[in-house]
Amino acid sequence: MDRPLLISTIMDFAADYHGEREIVSRTVEGPIHRYTYRDARDRAKKLANALLRLGVREGDRIGTLAWNTCRHFEAYYGISGIGAICHTINPRLFSEQISYIANHAEDSYLFLDLTFVELVEGLADSLSSVKAYVVLTDETHMPDTSLPNAMCYETLVGAESAGYEWPELDEWTASSLCYTSGTTGNPKGVLYTHRSTVLHTMMVCMSDTLGLRSVDVVMPVVPMFHANAWGLVYGAPAAGSKLVLPGRQLDGESVYELMESEKVTFTAGVPTVWLALAQYLRGSKSTLTTLERLVSGGSAMPRALTQEYEEDHNTRVIHAWGMTEMSPIGTTGNFKPGMTELPAEQRYDIQAKQGRGIFGVEMKIVDDDGNELPRDGEAFGDLMVRGGTVCDGYYKGEGGESFIDGWFKTGDVATLDPDGFMQIVDRSKDVIKSGGEWISSIDLENIAVGHPEVVEACVIAVPHPKWDERPLLLIVKAKGSGLDRNAMVEYLSDKVAKWWLPDDVVFVPELPHTATGKLLKSQLREDYRDHALPTIDAAE
Ligand code: ADP
């Protein structure tokens, strides 16, 4: 039958078939809030009525600056459900980028958590399209704010009835919008449709992708403003999983406490979060007692961290890769037959790869002339993707150079192996080009963080008169560690080829990150462009 793939059907499915399953949120106000999928549907419908009363129509953009909580969840469904576009904005961006994004998208309303009232008050003058601000709280917590036309979410929703029939939209109707953080240039918008979102939801739920089930308790630590929380806020209701939304407290202790109290079985987030959690667990001598699977993506998951979760907590680490442009999941690293029985070291080698291709995403690697390279695990080239969940252009037609002959050029350089696993060698702009050969910054970082006294490592290219570029290793070391340059080089020397060894090691108190938790290498390259490598004199 010709039935459209609509986001509202996900909410209806959850409410009709898993109506008593809970959504638990750590609210921005503090207390834990719990209700069911049935309650969530009623509230999303009330919000739909409220939006229509405010004059919101199909295609209008509604911005959100919000953490993972039930109110944001309702906004996802209420906004898209009426045919409007839920535009999630990353609050960790610079404020100029936030106003650029909201203006570029021409958001007509902005929903915001209490946490961001002050930030938005400072920006309001520059937000030219926003008619009113909806603060995601109740009357008791409603702040005294200078925001023009500020409204209280609970008052808005409370005035409406849950009587509403989701419209039968065309499945190609735009449903949501998310900008990539744009470490260079302006952020670019990725517009999703109901169709791409429902397809992605089905792909995510497949056993070998994320394998969500009704018996699972799913906690997206990855924010809902970061590529739809990797599809989990659609996947969990489509599977009937209990959903645990951690709010704004993403430190190790808070995440751990919620995981244990709600018996979380499945979680997903960036390596920085898993590093913080591991540090907390070590320090407090705690173990994860219910967590079965931990998905890590967004940047490379250090092998040593995978090993720690597997061995100390009996938690399976699933490395995943994706992009905002891909809805976002592209690969996940579930094992194939025989792999679970391999010796631990070999398993960690597999888990260090970014995962294998999933149904619905086509991948290939190509050389500079666009010729496809072999899938032998050795050859590396530009990773290209296509599929029903991959965008075919940026919002308002920007960044066209990434779309070539029906494929999207990811900007990642990768290998594909005969088992279908993809491994990122580097982001094409981060790879170190030394004497015509390439050095992978990711590989070096991964090995460096294997040192017990290294908390975080970053490798960048520094200009070199003879070799063009050479690697510089920046390290944040553990408190009280006496680690020095020579000891670090010594540690690396039997683990990488000699010409890969960094020309210098610099110890820094902290490293800068992007709004999505990646190392901000563009800034570091700028900061260290004149760094005097000890090897330069020798070359001249
Ligand atoms: P943004 O660019 O806005 O930070 P994205 O999440 O879309 O947000 O970033 C996608 C990029 O992140 C990928 O192209 C890749 O370079 C990197 N990335 C994602 N997952 C991984 C991973 N598991 N390992 C290494 N890099 C990753």
Whose Cα sits closest to atom 10 in ligand 1?
323
Instruction: Tell whether the model's pLDDT for residue 205 goes beyond 80.
Output: yes
- Rounded to 5°, angle at Cα 54 from 49 and 58: 75
Residue 514: its pLDDT value, please?
87
Using a 6 Å cutoff on CB, does residue 209 contact ligand 1? no
Per-residue pLDDT tens for 350-395?
A: 999 999 999 999 999 999 899 999 999 999 999 999 999 999 999 9
Annotated active-site residue 180? The verdict is yes
DSSP designation for 123: H
CA 252 – ligand 1 centroid, Å = 22
- Are 233 and 220 spatial neighbours (Cβ–Cβ below 8 Å)? yes
Instruction: Tell whether the model's pLDDT for residue 23 goes beyond 90.
Output: yes
3-state secondary structure of 526: helix
Per-residue pLDDT tens for 2-17?
A: 999 999 999 999 999 9
Instruction: Tell whether the model's pLDDT for residue 183 goes beyond 80.
Output: no
- The CA distance from 332 to 355, in Å, is 4
Alpha-carbon distances of 335 from 90, 342, 366, 376, rounded to whole Å: 33, 10, 26, 18
Residue 94: its pLDDT value, please?
86
Whose Cα sits closest to atom 27 in ligand 1?
299
Per-residue pLDDT tens for 143-153?
A: 999 999 999 99
Instruction: Tell whether the model's pLDDT for residue 414 goes beyond 80.
Output: yes
Could you say which of 74, 308, 325, 445 is catalytic?
Answer: 325
Using a 6 Å cutoff on CB, does residue 355 contact ligand 1? no
CA 19 – ligand 1 centroid, Å = 35
Whose Cα sits closest to atom 12 in ligand 1?
298
Annotated active-site residue 106? The verdict is no
Instruction: Tell whether the model's pLDDT for residue 331 goes beyond 90.
Output: yes
Using a 6 Å cutoff on CB, does residue 329 contact ligand 1? no
Atom of ligand 1 nearest to the CA of 442: 25
Whose Cα sits closest to atom 24 in ligand 1?
300
Residue 472: its pLDDT value, please?
96
Can you read off the two tokens belonging to residue 58? 């199909």
The three state secondary structure string of 41-101 is: HHHHHHHHHHHHHCCCCCCCEEEEECCECHHHHHHHHHHHHCCCEEEECCCCCCHHHHHHH
Q: Name the percent of the chain lying above pLDDT 90.
A: 91
Residue 400: its pLDDT value, please?
77
Annotated active-site residue 285? The verdict is no
Per-residue pLDDT tens for 312-325?
A: 999 999 999 999 99
- Are 377 and 418 spatial neighbours (Cβ–Cβ below 8 Å)? yes
Using a 6 Å cutoff on CB, does residue 440 contact ligand 1? no
Domains of the chain by start residue, with CATH: 7-17+34-193 (3.40.50.12780), 356-427 (2.30.38.10), 432-539 (3.30.300.30)
Atom of ligand 1 nearest to the CA of 411: 14
Identity (one letter) of the amino acid at 219? M
* Average pLDDT value for the chain: 95
Instruction: Tell whether the model's pLDDT for residue 253 goes beyond 90.
Output: yes
Per-residue pLDDT tens for 428-465?
A: 889 999 988 889 999 999 999 999 999 999 999 999 98
